[in-house]
Amino acid sequence: LAKTTQPISMDSYEGQEVNITCSHNNIATNDYITWYQQFPSQGPRFIIQGYKTKVTNEVASLFIPADRKSSTLSLPRVSLSDTAVYYCLVGDGSGAGSYQLTFGKGTKLSVIP
């Protein structure tokens, strides 16, 4: 199973760009990298997913180096509402790889006014 390691917490001021890095040294060939955002008492919400290089959507960018042993979630110009726990998930729940989707401990991002 691909295990992930993230910083436990991060603080940022409003309007700054935030980069959260996840290490996944034993990622498998079929594994995708997915990031989630979770607010208290809610289920995790899908943010972005990638396999390699760079992916960008309307809320974030995901940078994945060629060796795929890490990934970085980039949140541009954070606001107070971005205060949440962010999880990196490595796996392939579609079945081509491991069925077990095991989350790491997540990164608690606190945005400061």
**What is the contact surface with another protein in residues (CB under 8 A)?**
32, 34, 36, 41-46, 49, 87, 89, 91-95, 99-106
Q: Which H/E stretch holds residue 105?
A: none
Nearer to another protein, 16 or 59 (CB): 59
Nearer to another protein, 72 or 97 (CB): 97
In angstroms, give the least distance from the CB of 44 to another protein. 5
Contact 64, 33 (CB under 8 A): yes
Q: Can you read off the two tokens belonging to residue 12? A: 């940022």
Nearer to another protein, 79 or 101 (CB): 101
In angstroms, give the least distance from the CB of 101 to another protein. 5
Torsion of CA 45, 70, 27, 84, to 10 degrees: -20
In the chain, what is the greatest distance between 2 CA atoms, to the nearest angstrom? 44
